[in-house]
Amino acid sequence: MSSKDSSFLDSRIESEPMSCKCRGTCQRGKPTRRAGVGCPCKSFGSFCNYHCKCGTKKRPCRNKAPEESSASSEESSSDEGRTEEFKGQLKKPLMKVQAPFPMRRIFRYVKGLSRERLEDVATELLRRQPEALSDFTPPQTTEENQPTEIPLWCKCTKCSPMPTIIENKCCCRRIGDCITESQAFRDICLNVNVLSVNMQVREDELANEENRSNSNYRHYSYRNYIYWKFGRLGRGNRLVIPACCVIKIRQRFPSADGQYKGFIAGENLQD
C-alpha cells in the first residue's frame, strides 16, 4: 500500500469513527481466534460513540465515555433538584380567598330584630346608600310602559318607539326571534350575580366601590351587551343598543321616577 493510500485511509477513519452493533455490554474486546465475538470498539481501545447501536434495555453498554455518563448523572440530578423545588412549592400553603358574607347569617340576624330595631337598621342602610332606595320603590306608570303598536322598523315584535330616532333600532334585520328571549341574554345582561362580579372587577381596577343600585345594574347590563356583541370599543366609541334590549333591561332594573337618560354619543353608556 502506498503512502497516499494509507493517508487517505487514515483520513477516512478519522472522519468516520468506528461503530459497533453489539448486543452485549461491550466489556470484552474482539479476540483474534474467535471472529464475531467481542466489541470491535473495545478491541481498538476506544469508547462506544453515538454511531454505535450496542446494548439493550436489560444489558446496556458499559463502554461509554465517562463524560456522557457524568453529564447524564448531572442532568438527572438537576431534574431531581427541579422536582424537589416544585415539590417545595406545592407544599406552600395556598392563599386563602375571603369567602362572601353568609346569607344564612344575615337572615338569622334580620329575623331576630324587633320591628323598631329593623326600621332603624333599614333607615341607616338607606342613608348610607340612598341609590338602593330605587330598588325597592315601584316605578311610576309612564307612557313608555303602556302597550303600544309595533313600529315598522321592528322585526322581532318586542320593540317600542324610543325618545330619539337614533335609538329606534331592532336586534334583527329580518323577521325572527328576539334576542331578549335567548338564555344567553338573560345570563349576560339580566343575571344579578354576573353583574355583581363585573362590578367587583371594576372596583379592583379603579379602587372604588360601586353601589349595588338599579342605575348601576342598568349600566353594567348595557356594558355586558356591548362586550358580548362587539367587544371592546375603546374610549369615546359608543354604539346604540337595540330598543328591545333596553326595554328589557329597564324592566328588570327600573328607575324609581321612570326617567332615563337614554343614549348620548360620546358618553360612557346610555341609561
Confirm if 155 and 172 have CB atoms less than 8 A apart: yes
Buried b (16+ CB within 10 A) or exposed e, 61-95: bebbeeeeeeeeeeeeeeeeeeeeeeeeeeeeeee
pLDDT digits (tens, 9 = 90+) for 87-104: 444 444 444 444 455 678
Tell me how far apart the alpha carbons of residues 186 and 248 are, in angstroms, rounded to a whole number: 10
CA angle 250, 254, 258 (to 5 degrees): 100
Q: Is the dihedral of CA 111, 121, 132, 101 positive or negative?
A: negative
Q: What DSSP character marks residue 175? A: S
pLDDT at 28: 72
pLDDT digits (tens, 9 = 90+) for 50-62: 778 787 777 788 7
Q: Which of 77-81, 162-166, 211-215, 241-245 is the most confident on average?
A: 241-245
pLDDT at 261: 82
Residue matched to cell numbers 362572601: 100
**Domain ranges for the chain:** 3-76, 102-138, 150-271
Tell me how far apart the alpha carbons of residues 83 and 264 are, in angstroms, rounded to a whole number: 59
This prediction's pTM: 0.48
Tell me how far apart the alpha carbons of residues 140 and 183 are, in angstroms, rounded to a whole number: 29
Residue 178 has pLDDT above 80, yes or no: yes
The torsion angle over the Cα atoms of residues 74, 76, 81 and 86, rounded to 10 degrees, is: 150
